[in-house]
Amino acid sequence: IVTRNFQHGAVDRALIDDPYDYNRDGLVNGTDQIIARENQTNPLTMLRLITTPAVDAAIKQLAEQEATDPEATSATLDWLAEYEQMNSKKESARDDKNVEAAVDKLLATGWRK
């Protein structure tokens, strides 16, 4: 009903943040009304909002996990260290290729000191 009451056409286009322009085409028309009708919710199908746990609780949970299974935490940290090392090698190789390409370009253009 609200979509029908706040329609926008080609002359009076809807703003980018118009809450009733569901398909974001700049028009609030019958298409948006159909979208609203086909996507109705009720208490059983409505979006359930959650509250994320506090950072302190997450740190506490990680500390408890480490106390009960230190090998799992150690394995995770080892994996992260290996991953970072692999990525730094790839970036280093890319940097070397960039330097080589720059030197080749300078030599090809007859650059001299």
pLDDT number for residue 71: 60
Mean predicted confidence (pLDDT) in 21-46: 91
Mean predicted confidence (pLDDT) in 33-48: 89
* CB 40 within 8 Å of CB 19: no
pLDDT digits (tens, 9 = 90+) for 73-82: 666 667 667 7
pLDDT digits (tens, 9 = 90+) for 2-30: 899 999 999 999 999 999 999 999 999 99
Token pair 């940097």 is found at 95
Give phi and psi for 8, each to the nearest 5.
-130, 140
Q: How confident is the model at residue 43 (pLDDT cuts 50, 70, 90)?
A: confident
Token pair 């909002």 is found at 49
Token digits for 71?
A: 């090998």
DSSP per-residue letters across 34-98 = HHHHHT---TTTS-----PPPHHHHHHHHHHHHHH-HHHHHHHHHHHHHHHHHHHHHHHHHHHHH
pLDDT number for residue 72: 58
pTM of the predicted model, to two decimals?
0.42
pLDDT number for residue 52: 65
